[in-house]
Amino acid sequence: MQFNQLLTQRYSCRAYKTEPVDDQLLLDVMEAARLAPSACNKQPWTFIVVRDETTRHKILAKSRPAFLDAPVVIVACGHHDLAWHRQADDKDHTDIDLAIAVEHLTLSATDHGLASCWVCSFDVEATVEALSLPHGVEPVALLPIGYAAEGDPLPQKIRKPMQEIIRWEKY
Ligand SMILES: Cc1cc2nc3c(=O)[nH]c(=O)nc-3n(C[C@H](O)[C@H](O)[C@H](O)COP(=O)(O)O)c2cc1C
């Protein structure tokens, strides 16, 4: 897919088929996360692929029920002690690094004919417990992945106009 087309075709899918996704296809999609840039190339992440239905229920219990139809949820986990911390103010770059990698994933999923949705509204405590995450490893975002339900319409991109978000030279 052309890059601009990819940007318009990617959308937050909230209606999935229950049809499984082939593991090799998932690995192909996840190559995009592996190639993502990160501050000081620390790659402070682990991506947990959850296919088990009981675990998906635990993780997504407090999110939209429709996400449970997706056969896979990728849990993007950040390692705060591995991430780059800026020397001047100790700013932790875990979230920035994870955001880039997860967005690579959503675009790659679209490119491979799959649908996905960023999910940050989820039960963090239940997720930590369900996945036995060690101390210091934070579930930053969930990404349900699957095939979009038949007839799920591509929503209009509602975005601020360019002149509202861009300044030239100074604020
Ligand atoms: C960091 C982040 C967190 C999000 N969390 C959720 C969420 O918890 N649940 C949800 O339904 N959508 C979530 N979204 C999706 C946004 O609502 C969506 O990206 C936005 O409305 C623009 O729509 P589009 O992705 O279809 O272009 C999240 C998006 C981002 C980037």
Taking only the tens place, the pLDDT of each residue in 92-143 is 999 999 999 999 999 999 999 999 999 999 999 999 999 999 999 999 999 9
Q: Token match 């592996």: residue? A: 34
Q: How far is the CA of 100 from the centre of ligand 1 (A)?
A: 14
Tokens of 136: 């210091």
Residues 20-67 have pLDDT tens digits of 999 999 999 999 999 999 999 999 999 999 999 999 999 998 999 999
CATH architecture of structural domain 3-165: 3-Layer(aba) Sandwich (3.40)
* Separation CA 131–CA 133 (nearest Å): 5
Tokens of 63: 């999110």
- Residue 12 Cβ inside 6 Å of ligand 1? The answer reads yes
Q: Show the beta-strand stretches assigned E in the chain.
A: 45-50, 72-79, 115-116, 137-146
pLDDT, position 28: 98
Any idea where the domains of the chain sit in the sequence? 3-165
pTM of the model: 0.97
Q: For ligand 1, atom 28, name the residue with the nearest CA.
A: 118
- Residue 117 Cβ inside 6 Å of ligand 1? The answer reads yes
Q: For ligand 1, atom 29, name the residue with the nearest CA.
A: 118
* Separation CA 22–CA 51 (nearest Å): 11
DSSP secondary structure, 53-64, as one string: HHHHHHHHTTS-
Angle at 161 between CA 157 and CA 163, to 5 degrees: 160
Q: How far is the CA of 104 from the centre of ligand 1 (A)?
A: 15
